[in-house]
Each structure stands twice: as structure tokens, then as C-alpha cells.
Amino acid sequence: MSVRPLSFASLRTVPVSERKVDSDEHDFGASYKAGGALSDFLCSLPNLGAGADLFLLRDAIVAAHRHGRKVIVGCGGHVMDSGLSPLLAKLIEQRVISGVVLTGEAMLQDVEIAMVGQTLRYRDQDLRDGRFSMTEETGRLINDAVNLGSVENWGFGKSIGKKLLDAELEHVEHSVVATACRYGIPVTVHPVIGADTFTLHPQAHGESLGAAAMYDFRLLAGMMAEASGGVIINIASSVLIPRLFLQAVDAARNLGKTVENLTTAVIDPAASSSSVADVVGRLSQPGGAGYWLSGPDEVLLPLLFAAVLDVLGDDID
């Protein structure tokens, strides 16, 4: 049985005027002229796709800052490894960021930046003789801080922040944890025992690690309880930070707190489907909006906050 091709002579066409408008010339990109200002460059970007999402996220951060609402940033280790800690520290100092949430790896790298002004990499050959993750100075500083802080019922963030400030380390001005502690901005750290290398150090004590981690999660729940109308950004953490944000909001609501109208964002080129669903979808509801900027954080984060500072202008100290 043969198949005959259809004739399209009687196809019904649709006028352009009846098509749904997706974008117009005002949304298109333009050529950037050399010597222009940052605002000129931003205006040259297309107001479409990721560009449109970046501008919407910028506007939400600006509105939150002007109305005294929270801007909380959660970071995986890649954020520090990408050289972004000085930017985050400055934004904390300028009161643009009002809360910081870190994985254990992000905190460890932040400590090493404060100590030596560098990010460090484990060597594969050290795995052969059991020295892959056994850095002495980093593990000792972190665990000494947590062990001492547990006596005062402090969490990871406060314990390590105070230790870094008291030690007067050469590169402490680049530390996100120390800067947050200096300016009274809440910073929480959420380690994974066995996976985060400092938890294997001889100075580590499970009681202190557990108590500090539990305190910081309770503090995160308190931060989220006051976050309505604010902005929550997850940067380069596909599993831990998204789930922490979600569980902290759930705990706050369980205790009768109203958390709504959040603007949420994921900045991560390799974000998992679950992190996008948790942060962009679930966390933004009810009443908010979520965005996924699927590009490299070392480019998008400076661009986003440059756009924010350009709008805020004299509102920033």
C-alpha cells in the first residue's frame, strides 16, 4: 500500500496580527559603545530569557534592600573556589546581603582564603597513603573554634567568625564568615560529617560539631521566618542548600510563622532538577517568583550585583 503526499493548497493561514507577541524591538539587544558606563552595557543586553530574569532578580534585590527585607545568599564550595569571596564580603559590608548560608566545604575554603589568601586543591596521589584530606592548620582552626564556641552555645558561623577575627589573619578581609561576624550579619554553616574534611581532624569532637550544626539550622529557620517579601539565592549547591532552605521554611511555618512572597533564584550552570524544583518552584510559593540563571556563577554573580549597585547608587554606604 503506497502513501500519497498531502497537498497543502487548502491550508488555512493565520494573519500576523493574530499571533501572540513574544517580544518586540524594545526587548532586543544593542551594540555596546566603547567607553560607556555600566548602565550603558546593561541597557545593551536583551531583555529576554536569562537577561530578563537577571533584571527581574536585580529589581527584587533592590526593592528588598530599600524596604528593609532580607537578601539571603546560600553558597556551595564552588563560589569560594571561583574567587567570589571578596565580592560577597563587600556586599555584606554594604548591607546588601543580610544573611549567609554555607556548606561545610564553602566555609572551609573561606577559612583557607583568610589564612593564606588562596584556595587549595587536594592531590590525587595523597589518597594512596591516607593524606588526601588531612590538612592540619585548617582543621585545627575550625575545630578549635567550634569546640570553644560550644561552651558558649554558639553555632559554626559565630564560632569561626570570631576565631578568624581574633586571629588577625593576613587575608581576613576576604573572608565571608569573618566579615559577616564583624558586621553582625547572621551566617550559618551546615557540615556533613565524614564528607567535610575538617570533621575527620583529630581535634574534631562529635558533640561540638553536632551542637553547632543544630544551632545553625535553628538560626537558619529563624532567618527564613523573617524573610517574607525578601530574596533567597542559591549559588552552586545542587543538593544541600536547596534542601536546607526548604526544610527551614517548613519548620518556621510549622511553628506558626508566615513566610510568603519570596523571590528565589538558582545561579548554577549544572543545577540539578531537584534544586531548581525546590528553590525556583516550591520555595517561591505562595505569592513569589523564582528564576534559574543557568550560567557560571563567577560571571553571573558579579554581573547581577553590579547591576544592583548601579541602581542603588547613593543608597549604599
- Domain membership flag for residue 177: yes
Specify the pLDDT at position 270: 87
**Contact present, 193 and 199 (Cβ < 8 Å):** yes
Specify the pLDDT at position 121: 66
CATH number at residue 163: 3.40.910.10
Max CA-CA distance within the chain? 87
- Domain membership flag for residue 158: yes
Specify the pLDDT at position 159: 97
Q: Name the DSSP letter for residue 281.
A: I
Locate all alpha helices (DSSP H) within the chain, ordered by sequence: 38-44, 49-66, 77-81, 85-93, 104-116, 136-151, 156-167, 176-182, 206-225, 240-254, 273-275, 297-312
- Domain membership flag for residue 64: yes
What's the Cα-to-Cα distance from 115 to each of 8, 171, 279, rounded to whole Å? 72, 6, 33
Specify the pLDDT at position 119: 74
**Contact present, 274 and 27 (Cβ < 8 Å):** no
- Domain membership flag for residue 17: no
Residues facing residue 71 across a β-bridge: 231
The phi, psi pair for 264, rounded to 5°, reads -120, 155
Specify the pLDDT at position 75: 95
The range of the structural domain enclosing residue 84 comes to 49-315
Specify the pLDDT at position 10: 93
- Domain membership flag for residue 38: no
**Number of Cβ atoms within 10 Å of the Cβ of 157:** 28
- Domain membership flag for residue 7: no
**Number of Cβ atoms within 10 Å of the Cβ of 191:** 26
Q: How far apart are CA 52 and CA 67, in angstroms?
A: 23
Q: How far apart are CA 73 and CA 95, in angstroms?
A: 12
Sort residue 287 into left (φ over 0), alpha (ψ -120 to 50) or beta. left
Scored b (16 or more CB within 10 A) or e, 95-130 reads ebbbbbbbbbbbbbbbbbbbbeeebeeeeeeeeeee
Specify the pLDDT at position 233: 97
- Domain membership flag for residue 156: yes
How many domains are contained in the chain? Answer: 1
Tens-level pLDDT at each residue, the chain (317 residues): 689 999 999 999 999 888 887 888 888 888 888 888 988 888 888 888 888 999 999 999 999 999 999 999 999 989 998 999 999 999 999 999 999 999 999 999 999 999 988 876 665 555 566 665 667 888 999 999 999 999 999 999 999 999 999 998 889 999 999 999 999 999 999 999 999 889 999 999 999 999 999 999 999 999 999 999 999 999 999 999 999 999 999 999 999 999 999 999 999 988 899 999 999 999 999 999 999 999 899 999 999 999 999 999 987 86
The phi, psi pair for 44, rounded to 5°, reads -80, -15
Specify the pLDDT at position 126: 59
Residues facing residue 289 across a β-bridge: 263
Specify the pLDDT at position 151: 94
Specify the pLDDT at position 60: 97
- Domain membership flag for residue 223: yes
Q: How far apart are CA 237 and CA 267, in angstroms?
A: 9
Sort residue 292 into left (φ over 0), alpha (ψ -120 to 50) or beta. beta
